Homo-oligomer: A and B are copies of this chain.
Amino acid sequence: MDNERSPLAQPFPNMPTIGGVTLRTARAHYKDWDRADLTYAEFAEGTAVAGVFTQSACPSSEVEIGREQIKNGTARALIVNAGNSNAFTGYRGREAVDQIMTQVAEHLGCASEQVFVSSTGVIGVPLPKDKARDGVAKVLTAETCTWEEAADTIATTDTFAKGATASAIVGDKTVQISAIIKGSGMIAPDMATMLGYIFTDGAIDPAFLQELLCAANQQTFSCITVDSDTSTSDTVLAFATGKAGNAPLASFDDAGADAFAAALHDVCRQMAHLVVRDGEGAQKFIAITVSGAQCDESARKIGLSIANSPLVKTAIAGEDANWGRVVMAVGKAGEPADRDKLSIGFGGIWAARNGQPVPDYDEAPVARHLKGQDINIEVDIGIGSGRATVWTCDLTHGYITINADYRS
């Protein structure tokens, strides 16, 4: 975390411990950082797991292995390596992951398939097995740590530690959810995103947990973008230890399932927003609400076309209500639209309606809105009832500075 703290940063929340989850960190020295870079979470026996992963055609070994592991539905441990993504490293990368899984499984006396591994950082450098072995040995016996220390340790170019929490009443029990996430650039998740970890003491059937995570993902992580670039390592995992003692949830028919689903969705939305708030070079947080599209998925695609447009993002950076660029981004989205029914507004004020500028459009309140940190863009396609909100940040000199100077 050498970069200047994002102006959109939020304080780390007060997050409850989760029964059945133990956190530890250590230094594996993957990079020349003066901080911990290896995070370990240990789970009670019987912990359920669900996950969503990058859709990249060139994923990391961690993602390939993780997709298989999820099918078993149970987890005992998570290891996160920061500073080296281990992606595009062939058999050597896979060997490093296998070694870590075996080492942790021997320590816990569990199956190696119950040990989940993630890595984030530079692409194309095999994770050094000696450093991994020493780091894992250290972390297995390290002092336990706080949520904030764990969130700091999984970070790379992030400028602040990111955590989210929520709770739900399930039957007569309170179920807690605590989550950490990292992400700053290469953010345009496609059904999954970055590295995010959700921990709950709820008792949830793994298949149902997977169903809930996929649903939340679709309206949260899949609705954010920083720079339209999709990582080879995007991963969000949810672990449910069952220590809350609630009657296990297996479907929406179970009492409290709706409440738990809402809390999980809330945590995912918080996490997704935090990633955007730490977007590389971000100065403004932008919510784009698209209504009147052919269907919800069409609205989401149009929203992402706007959110990924460098001309829209630079206009917001320049505090310019350049709605013509929004028209352009709707037009290029490849989704049904009718120019003469299209309306565009900023901060609740229509600048253009039904394919034409609003005649008595008063730019003064819009200009005031654009000077703020939280920007709202409203787009009404005018042809249906599809609706979605997506979130992004502006595109500034900071993004260029960070990414043109970063050395592989």
Contact = CB atoms under 8 A, between A and B. Distances in A.
Interface stretch (A12-20, A74-82, A130-138, A352-360): A352-360
A283 to B, nearest CB: 10
Interface string A221-236: 0000001111110000
A139 to B, nearest CB: 26
Contact of A324 (B55, B56, B122, B228): B122
Nearest to A312: B229
A357 B327 contact: no
A58 B325 CA distance: 11
A58 B186 CA distance: 29
Nearest to A92: B356
A87 interface: yes
A327 B229 CA distance: 11
Contacts of A318: 403-407
Interface in A55-93: 55-59, 85, 87-90, 92
A403 B315 contact: yes
A261 interface: no
Nearest to A190: B332
A62 to B, nearest CB: 13
Interface stretch (A43-51, A263-271, A335-343, A384-392): A335-343
A169 interface: no
Interface stretch (A1-9, A28-36, A250-258, A394-402): A394-402
A323 interface: yes
Nearest to A93: B356
A60 to B, nearest CB: 9
A323 B125 CA distance: 11
Contacts of A329: 229
B309 A229 contact: yes
B229 A311 contact: yes
Nearest to A322: B408
A295 interface: no
A contacts with B: majority SS: loop
Interface residues of A, number: 72
Contact of A404 (B58, B231, B396): B396
A25 interface: no
Nearest to A394: B404
A259 interface: no
B327 A124 contact: yes
A188 interface: yes
Contacts of A323: 124, 408
B404 A310 contact: no
Given A89-B356, A320-B407, A229 B122 contact: no
Given A88-B356, A324-B88, A331-B230, A58 B339 contact: yes
* A-B residue pairs, 6 tightest by C-beta: A123-B324, A56-B331, A58-B331, A318-B404, A314-B403, A90-B356
30 contacts: A56-B328, A57-B334, A57-B335, A57-B336, A57-B338, A58-B330, A58-B337, A58-B339, A59-B331, A88-B356, A89-B357, A90-B340, A90-B355, A90-B356, A122-B324, A123-B327, A186-B328, A228-B228, A229-B311, A230-B331, A230-B332, A310-B310, A310-B399, A314-B399, A317-B400, A320-B404, A323-B408, A395-B404, A397-B397, A400-B400
Interface of A: 54-59, 85, 87-90, 92, 122-125, 185-186, 188, 190, 227-232, 308-311, 314-315, 317-318, 320-325, 327-340, 342, 352, 354-357, 395-397, 399-401, 403-408
